[in-house]
Structure 1
């Protein structure tokens, strides 16, 4: 079997979808030794393929949208390469797939739930093609049961499988000396709250910062800092201004950090806060949980799935966030290892079963 893959996210910056695709690809390489793989992208990849059985096909494009490139170019390339199954890692399929079996992965339904938070090109691509492509795919995989349920409710489409994101081995409870050492290097002192995510509207970081600064001004969190880890995204003008303004109130943006540093930040935090307006799963919540951190999360099914039963669930409003942070600041109960750790290997196994079912 030869499997073609939309690898556009592997040419970009760190993101949840990028990690999802990369980790599953490494799993597929070990679990499907009889198969070959072709990675398609309009831009050079920023990762190395898992093995020699992986081809990389770069066809540059001046098109404004990578989705237009996917629609107009990839189907013909895949047929010419003898691909049997095409994995639409970003849900949307190439235009001409008559000779191919197709698997569409649905990460979220953001274009329906929170369209105003999306980049314009992405929003319009989803409005044009998302529903039709999900319905014509030979198999549909979601990244959470919450997304599967929402897909059925919104589009009437049943998911064929759920492949949840895993948690890397580096995200485990950390020895106290390791936490101290890592935090010292990062110039971080306890106590602090931590948020992780690309700087973009859906993450609701403006409300988080305003909630935190209000508590500081009221004298309720005098010694605390709010640390934000994540790369710049889109529609961030107001957010950037607040990041600069609130520096004097203990808000710090750390940009990108390594997984080893992030594990220490999770484990050393008073709480990890994820006040997103919407998530398809919420990988950072699962990572924080695996490190033993207390999680404060928006009360939606998808985050209940990733954050677990020990989390503090809130409304994603400044008032709700303030309530959750104050509750977390009262004390820090010991949070044990999750009753079931999410595994990238299991996610890859789900995809293997789906691919082989289409042979």
Structure 2
């Protein structure tokens, strides 16, 4: 009988899913479709908020703990039950553990320390160093993240495999163009105006103050200005972003609808005039691909993994240059031919990223390291 592969699914206990939760959920769903025979044990801290459809070869082990779950519960339990391998899709390898593979998503805390509290920076620094040392192998979600790990931590590149995210199937274009259902317009206070959409945490690293300043700079040049919709849950120092909106006199042009549920997000992306994401640093940039998959033209930053993911399918701007962002916004808003060209290129680009391929490559990494562990 095969020894199970263990997977840490503690991220699925979150009430609202963002990057790491979506990655864990979609990868698990794709693995369940791909491999229906090899046994898997899923370790959770409390019952997950939701789970994808799983086969009879997958079992759930709920081992709750109020604090230090990774080190006090996951590690000792996995070591005692001796899985073939422990896979951690996000964050930290337990202090005591069986042979493990971990996914490291980005080094945002290292690139932009001011976007985190001092305590959180120290925690991320120590856990990243530990995971790099303790894991048998590391999965990075982009070449950018891999290069950052090699540069800043002198990680062995031979121990790091790049496996890109995919795009969920419900992010698709529509035949009705930018039509948005009246109930969604009412729910998110969008009136009957076109809108530019950003989706992500409201925090300084996302470069939203410069985006607001660029939007204010562009407004006088527009006869019928669109709304700017900044959607996402509040993060570190989000109040300064809201305050800058008021200081610029943009209250009637900017919306902060909060976290957008998965059920509404594709429709809001399809209905947008353009998607704007000039983040200062990303380890991948999933919202960019989701917008492209919906047929929405994209403006994004020309650095970090955003250039790597968008390639030539988005309008790339210098995220540190407010004038450049403003010029990009004006081009997107005023040039219908540019928007159509970006739409076509974006659809083709997004089609290259699938969760099926992510699962195939991830499983290959896991199986290779199970084999290596058996010879160790």
* Aligned pairs (5 A) from 1:92-131: 92-97=92-97, 100-131=98-129
Hey, what's the Cα distance between the residues in 2 that align with 1:282 and 1:119? 23
Aligned residues of 1:139 and 1:160 also touching (Cα < 8 A): yes
1:353 is displaced (CA, Å) by 0.7
Match of 1:338 in 2: 348
The aligned counterpart of 1:19 is: 22
> Among residues 209, 212, 225, which one is paired with 2:215 in the alignment?
212
Q: Report the counterpart of residue 61 of structure 2 in structure 1.
A: 56
- 2:65/2:73 contact within 8 Å kept: no
- 1:320 is matched with which residue? 324
Match of 1:264 among 267, 273, 281: 267
After superposition, where does 1:6-155 map in structure 2 within 5 Å? 6-12=8-14, 13-48=16-51, 50-51=53-54, 52=56, 53-61=58-66, 63=67, 68-97=68-97, 100-155=98-153
SS in 1 for 2:295: coil
In structure 2, the CA distance between the partners of 1:263 and 1:50, relative to structure 1 (3 Å rule), is closer
The C-alpha deviation readout for 1:23-62, integer Å capped at 9, x for no partner, is 111112222323333333444421136435231323222x
Please state how far the C-alpha of 1:273 moved relative to its aligned partner: 0.6
SS at match of 1:128: helix
Q: How far apart are 1:212 and its partner, in Å?
A: 1.4
* SS of the residue 2:181 aligns to: helix
CA gap of 1:167–1:238, structure 2 versus 1, over 3 A, is same
Q: For the residues of structure 2 that align with 1:343 and 1:47, how far apart are their CA atoms? A: 21
Report how far residue 279 of structure 1 moved. 0.3
SS of 2:179's partner is helix
Query: Per the alignment, in what secondary structure is the counterpart of residue 348 of structure 2?
Result: coil
How far is 1:17 from its partner?
Answer: 0.9
Aligned to 2:233: 231
**In structure 2, how many angstroms separate the alpha carbons of the residues matched to 1:60 and 1:260?**
31
Contact 2:269 2:275 in 1 (8 A): yes
- Cα RMSD after superposing both structures: 2.4
Q: d(CA) in 2 for partners of 1:167 and 1:183?
A: 26
Deviations 1:288-339 (A, max 9, x none): 1122222111111410122230311112233332122112122133121224
Q: How many aligned positions are there? A: 350
Which residue matches 2:291?
288
Deviation at 1:275, TM superposition (A): 1.2
How many angstroms apart in 2 are the aligned matches of 1:328 and 1:239? Answer: 23
Structure 2 length-normalised TM = 0.84
How much has 1:89 moved relative to structure 2? 1.9
1:341 deviation in Å? Answer: 2.6
Question: Deviation digits for residues 150-190 of structure 1, max 9, x if unmatched?
Answer: 2222223215422211111222221216x424266324334
Relative to structure 1, is the Cα distance of residues 80 and 57 closer, same or farther in structure 2, using a 3 angstrom cutoff?
A: farther
Match in the other structure for 2:169: 169
Which ranges of structure 2 fall in alignment gaps of 5 or more residues?
371-376
